[in-house]
Structure 1
Amino acid sequence: MSAPGPRIDLNADLGEGFGVWRLGDDDALLGVVSSANVACGFHAGDPLTMRRVCAAAVASTVSIGAQVAYRDLAGFGRRFLDVAPAELTADVLYQLAALDGIARTAGGRVSYVKPHGALYNAVVHHERQAQAVVDAVAAYDPHLAVLGLPGSVLLRFAAGAGLRTVAEGFADRGYTPEGALVPRSAAGAVVHDPAEVAERAVRMAADGVVLAVDGTRVAVDVESVCVHGDTPGAVDLARSVRASLESAGLTVAAFAG
């Protein structure tokens, strides 16, 4: 039997419905991804949804991550909020502890933290908010990993605090020449073609490169690739990405258990 190829994690955002409203096909995505970023109730999700997704993730042996966000249900967490660091640390702790408690009742646990939306983009460069997130993770459990954009302030501060850092790439999002994500309000922010998304995922995982919106080759050394659960056709995109990664000789597996 041949040895398994290099490992790459495949993650997606799950549990982003609210009450009777469902967003994305959580169950189908759990059959494809190796890690699930579960909404914790601040930008989306609710206790019943969190419990359902955690139970399904445990049954599918998918790693559970806390997708923490600004307190912004109306804006789906995609609006920057100038939150004081102490308040942001408390908000992240609240979300993380809630999801971890629910995950443990299902026989699992939270193994990493990933900011969502505007908070994710802010902590690429916003030092006070990045430190606030790191402070919350370190206070709750210093063994948790932090998932974020390569070169971000968040990952630099997390590493400085002794936390495990995991850099990720976005197969279905556009990149600027500087390696940041194209704002969702701008052209080229989201990539919809399944073949292109799959090709981008393989190039990121195998070659450490992504093409920016202007054609620039951007270096992205990643351990995880994200496909957004709320993107139209997300399940088909995720299946295409996984099949292409495996065809390229990569082993899709969670970075954290």
Structure 2
Amino acid sequence: MATIDLNSDMGEGFGRWELGDDEAMLGVVTSANIACGFHAGDPEGLGRTVEAAHRRGVVIGAHPAYRDLAGFGRRYVDATPAELRADVIYQVGALQGLARSVGATVHYVKAHGALYNTIAHDELHASAVLAAVKDVDPSLVVLGLAGSPLLDKAREAGLAVCAEAFADRAYTSGGELVSRREPGAVLHDPDVVAERMVRLVESGTIEAIDGSAVRVRADSICVHSDSPGAVAMARQVRSALARAGVGLRAFAGPAG
């Protein structure tokens, strides 16, 4: 039976402002990428998200970002490698502390937003992030963009990796994500998204924004929780995969 992981970004509210329905999404996904405070998330709220994920048996990952709270981590920050390494260590360590407080464990690291896109190809910032992960805990799995040089670099550093595809994002013909600044970058039709993910699992391809077929080999699928109708979309993806005979299984942690 074919299996794949289904993940989503969580803990992205701040104080009185809530973003996404984490409780509902935790009933759908197998892995939770939990914010670490630099792009979203306050300590109390993050603690609640960690506890909820642990209670539901969802595998926990740290979701560090550039220091960009106002921009939701979607703006590039020209940090030095030393600054970025320290920032990532700080963020992952904070989430580890919150996890330990409820008897949970952080099993993987997935960068957020601009940091995710930058380290997919930028050697300088990728090296800093990977050094931070290895220094904090070399058993942590690196979740990154399928087909990106980051995954090879992580393997060379002795880190385990998981390749990720995005359910609700458009792809270029080169296998990269279409910039959010471009029209059509974010997909909103649950039926279309679900069909794309079944095709991904069954054939290892996904339709690019220009209509061409792109080879994407992935072991995890992400549905962004901050998009309108995100929970319904995640449920549709999960249902479509089940109908196609694809099981859900976390790529890391006790169930991985």
SS at match of 2:188: coil
> 1:200: how far off?
1.1
Partner letter of residue 18 of structure 2?
R
Provide the rounded CA distance (Å) in 2 between the counterparts of 1:196 and 1:160.
Answer: 37
Q: 2:160 aligns with which of 155, 164, 170?
A: 164
* 1:214-225 mapped onto 2 (5 Å cutoff): 214-225=210-221
Provide the rounded CA distance (Å) in 2 between the counterparts of 1:164 and 1:34.
Answer: 18
> 1:153: how far off?
2.5
SS at match of 1:115: coil
Provide the rounded CA distance (Å) in 2 between the counterparts of 1:201 and 1:47.
Answer: 34
Partner letter of residue 46 of structure 1?
D
Kindly indicate whether residue 23 of structure 2 is the aligned counterpart of residue 27 of structure 1: yes
Q: 1:198 aligns with which of 183, 194, 206?
A: 194
Provide the rounded CA distance (Å) in 2 between the counterparts of 1:118 and 1:197.
Answer: 23
Provide the rounded CA distance (Å) in 2 between the counterparts of 1:49 and 1:202.
Answer: 34
Deviating beyond 6 angstroms after TM superposition, the runs of 4 or more aligned structure 1 residues are none
Provide the rounded CA distance (Å) in 2 between the counterparts of 1:212 and 1:70.
Answer: 28
> 1:227: how far off?
0.2
Corresponding position of 1:208:
204
Partner letter of residue 235 of structure 2?
R
Corresponding position of 2:45:
49
> 1:206: how far off?
2.2
Q: How many residues align?
A: 253
> 1:71: how far off?
0.4
Identity of aligned residues (%): 58
Asked if the contact 2:63–2:109 (Cα under 8 Å) also holds between the matched residues in 1, the reply is: yes
Corresponding position of 2:235:
239
SS at match of 1:181: coil
Asked if the contact 1:130–1:153 (Cα under 8 Å) also holds between the matched residues in 2, the reply is: no
Provide the rounded CA distance (Å) in 1 between the counterparts of 2:56 and 2:201.
Answer: 23
> 1:57: how far off?
0.3
Q: 1:176 aligns with which of 172, 177, 184?
A: 172
* 1:42-121 mapped onto 2 (5 Å cutoff): 42-121=38-117
> 1:102: how far off?
0.5
Corresponding position of 2:12:
16
Asked if the contact 2:147–2:217 (Cα under 8 Å) also holds between the matched residues in 1, the reply is: no
Provide the rounded CA distance (Å) in 1 between the counterparts of 2:182 and 2:176.
Answer: 13
Kindly indicate whether residue 154 of structure 2 is the aligned counterpart of residue 153 of structure 1: no
Unaligned stretches of 5+ residues in structure 1 = none
> 1:86: how far off?
0.7
> 1:155: how far off?
1.1
Cα deviation 1:110-130 (Å, max 9, x = unaligned): 100001000111011110000
Kindly indicate whether residue 110 of structure 2 is the aligned counterpart of residue 139 of structure 1: no
Partner letter of residue 52 of structure 2?
A
SS at match of 1:81: coil
Provide the rounded CA distance (Å) in 1 between the counterparts of 2:167 and 2:179.
Answer: 15
Asked if the contact 1:205–1:225 (Cα under 8 Å) also holds between the matched residues in 2, the reply is: no
> 1:150: how far off?
1.6
Provide the rounded CA distance (Å) in 1 between the counterparts of 2:132 and 2:126.
Answer: 10
- The RMSD of aligned alpha carbons is 0.7
Partner letter of residue 207 of structure 2?
L
Unaligned stretches of 5+ residues in structure 2 = none
